[in-house]
Amino acid sequence: MLAYMHIPFCDSKCPYCAFNSYTNQSKLKQTYMQRLIEQLRFELEKFNVQKGEINSLFIGGGTPSTIPASWYAPLFEMLSPYLSKEAELTSEANPHSATQAWIAGMKELGINRLSFGVQSFNTEKLQFLGRNHSPKMAEEAIINAHHLGIQNISLDLMYGTALDTPHLLREDLKYARMLPINHLSAYALTLEEETPFYTQKNVINSEEALARTFVQEIIDAGFPQYEISNFGSYESYHNKGYWEHQDYLGLGAGAVGFLHHQRFYPAKKVEDYLQNPCYQAIEELSIEELHVEKIFLGLRSCVGIDRTILNAKEEENVALLLQENKLTCKNNRLYNKDYFLSDELALFITR
Ligand code: SF4
């Protein structure tokens, strides 16, 4: 079982970002952390979580490093009996707010993996993306995390911005690989509705060749690809858990939980969440919907698809893809050879 905790606060809002995050609600932070405890208590009971059953906690956002480490302590106190010994405990962090004291405090609580929102090591690109840190700040935060004994460190890079050229991306990667990281996520810039970038012209470069070259260079730099956007010698347990359809608790405003065939959606707006942290909208998923999701998720990642779940028509389509060398089959599991084609292949199989 997995747990996800959402921190919907940021120091500043990036113009491309559609995540549930706010910059003007700092005064609500402390109450928010208290409400998270209420929801956690409720979820542990609802999911009937047993001692040692949670294998991964992921604190995401927003920006988890905008909350002082000590404010997480009561949550960890409540959660710790339910965490397995080897649990992967990840927090996202931004170079701007992940100070040495914050990292040390989170390590003290048990965090053993940090994922830094870096996006680029190019000053101009960082400004273009509205990021509030410099390349040096990102470098220092990651080196601090390493010196403070965080075992697993990841960073996010963004590609597909109007400023990107093969040279710029190569430089970003060169900088990244000099740092003590064992995981890297690379996301293409997408234009999300209701963000300032959405209405702007010339912010994006969606050339497939640029993306393909960058991905190949990441792999060649020693970060094997295990999902469409994730690379590294260390494969995140949490990420894989989602793709394997494991159950997960979803804590916080705008988080999502999943149990068997239901998804749970707590209130998205912080004020609404504070009013009632245990309220959730419920989405019932049909067997058919879960089946299609398994095919989509399996093709986007190294998890693959259990061939025995396929119906006769899907099996026919798979046979064609195997013939065309688009898929491989090992121990009755199907694997995608080209993650850029994930959605296309999934649509072909389920058509
Ligand atoms: S720091 Fe992350 S979550 Fe916050 S606005 Fe920027 S991209 Fe969005």
In 3D, which of 228, 226, 232, 223 has the Cα closest to residue 212?
228
Q: Closest residue (by CA) to atom 5 of ligand 1?
A: 13
Joined tokens for residue 224: 């094997």
Atom of ligand 1 nearest to the CA of 130: 6
Residue nearest to ligand 1 atom 8, measured at CA: 17
Q: How many CB atoms lie within 10 A of CB 343?
A: 13
Q: Residue 58: what residue type?
A: F
Give, for all 351 residues of the chain, the pLDDT tens digit.
Answer: 999 999 999 999 999 999 999 998 999 999 999 999 999 999 999 999 999 999 999 999 999 999 999 999 999 999 999 999 999 999 999 999 999 999 999 999 999 999 999 999 999 999 999 999 999 999 999 999 999 999 999 999 999 999 999 999 999 999 999 999 999 999 999 999 999 999 998 999 999 999 999 999 999 999 999 999 999 999 999 999 999 999 999 999 999 999 989 999 999 999 999 999 999 999 999 999 999 999 999 999 999 999 999 999 999 999 999 999 999 999 999 999 999 999 999 999 999
Q: How far is CA 250 from its chain centroid?
A: 13
Q: What is the largest CA-CA distance in the chain?
A: 59
What is the CA(35)–ligand 1 centre distance, in A?
22
Phi, psi dihedrals of residue 257, rounded to the nearest 5°: -115, 160
Q: Is the CB of 132 under 6 A from ligand 1?
A: no
| Main-chain phi, psi angles of 306, to 5 degrees | -70, 115
Q: Could you identify the residue written with the tokens 């690809």? A: 225
Does an H or E element contain 126, and which? helix 123-128
Q: How far apart are CA 153 and CA 270, in angstroms?
A: 29
Fold of 2-243: TIM Barrel (3.20.20)
On the question of a cis peptide bond just before residue 105, with omega within 30 degrees of 0, the verdict is: no
Please tell me what DSSP assigns to residue 28.
G
* 15 CA from centroid of ligand 1 (Å): 9
Sign of the alpha-carbon dihedral angle for 79, 151, 255, 309? negative
Spatial distance between the Cα atoms of 1 and 202, rounded to a whole number of angstroms? 43
Ligand 1 neighbourhood includes 8 CB (under 6 angstroms): no
Q: Which atom of ligand 1 lies nearest, measured to the CA of 61? A: 3
Rounded to the nearest whole angstrom, what is the distance from the C-alpha of residue 132 to the centroid of ligand 1?
10
Continuous segment of H or E residues that includes residue 188: strand 183-188
Residue ranges of the chain that CATH labels 3.20.20.70 = 2-243
Q: Ligand 1 centre from 161 Cα, in Å?
A: 16
Reading the block at residue 158, the tokens are: 């963004």
Atom in ligand 1 nearest the alpha carbon of residue 12: 5
User: In angstroms, what CA-CA distances link 181 with 60, 103, 116, 169, 223?
Assistant: 19, 15, 10, 17, 10
63 lines ligand 1 (CB under 6 A): yes
